[in-house]
A = this chain, B = another copy of it.
């Protein structure tokens, strides 16, 4: 076991840290949030140039075939800077679904993901769903001669209005499960209604009205789709989790600096013991979140589905809980300025809330863990 970063990982982390430091100030992020996309196309091009979008993609698609750990190291640094581009949705979640498919169409799109030309996002949640992990999927896929027609309404499609393609879950009458389909966002019969999210990014409701797609659009058959999707979601949960850990580290830094700078009753805030102790508690929780992240990274490729599920759900729950405490207290220690839009700590909080509510919240994941028996030690 070795936690040290390889030289390659160090370069990756340093490059991202430098980018965040030099280019990801809050003002430009607020500008991006106000734009039609809810993110910055300039950043997006940079991500492509740096190879970040290609990081975990297969070589055949121009990818670097790096690991989930590498991606998590990158995203942790980006999380410090509240980076909000569709890196994980497109180049991790959907890229995994595409890579795992044998389809020719998929391979072509993967290359476009690597260059940033394609933005692919998951259209999976429907009315009333609380978690991607147990969405029942009512959207319908009907077989026609040369392919399929898709109908239904997807909601909370992240980056849905900016996406070039969707991976859509839909159910063929009579099949047990749902299939996963690749659909161009400009296909006939698709209507999107975009809206802003609290963190400044955007999502959309996407209506599919008898959208025709070729047979090759079927990425995953019902027999395997749910398993592949789970594995894609697991990757998203872990890598977004790394971003939250980055957020937490940034808040520790922001807050301790703030406390040293500001005075009350003629003394620096940092000299008040109650505030010192709060910072210590925040560090304890941040370390817990990081450890939960490592636990999930260690299990992400495990063949033991129970172990993997437990580690992923456990990390999701603990990172969200710890993040809520650390960033919430970060706001508290800043006082009034902490609850304004002009200051970064509130934005970290909103990014955390987005993490908390995506993929199922902590209650959901604790319950999911609880259904998996913990490994029992053997009695002698």
Chain A contact residues, CB within 8 Å of chain B? 272-274, 276-277
- What's the least CB distance linking A36 to chain B, in Å? 41
6 residue pairs from A and B, CB less than 8 Å apart = A272-B273, A273-B273, A273-B274, A274-B274, A274-B276, A274-B277
- What's the least CB distance linking A267 to chain B, in Å? 11
Bound state CA distance, A277 and B273, in angstroms?
A: 10
- What's the least CB distance linking A370 to chain B, in Å? 15
- What's the least CB distance linking A271 to chain B, in Å? 10
Q: Which residues of B contact A277 (CB under 8 A)?
A: 274
Bound state CA distance, A326 and B273, in angstroms?
A: 21
- What's the least CB distance linking A263 to chain B, in Å? 16
Q: Which residues of B contact A276 (CB under 8 A)?
A: 274
Bound state CA distance, A124 and B124, in angstroms?
A: 55
Bound state CA distance, A294 and B263, in angstroms?
A: 42
- What's the least CB distance linking A363 to chain B, in Å? 15
- What's the least CB distance linking A269 to chain B, in Å? 12
Q: Which residues of B contact A274 (CB under 8 A)?
A: 273-274, 276-277
Bound state CA distance, A276 and B274, in angstroms?
A: 9
Q: Which residues of B contact A273 (CB under 8 A)?
A: 272-274
Bound state CA distance, A274 and B271, in angstroms?
A: 12
Bound state CA distance, A276 and B273, in angstroms?
A: 10
Bound state CA distance, A277 and B332, in angstroms?
A: 15
Bound state CA distance, A276 and B276, in angstroms?
A: 14
- What's the least CB distance linking A82 to chain B, in Å? 31
- What's the least CB distance linking A332 to chain B, in Å? 13
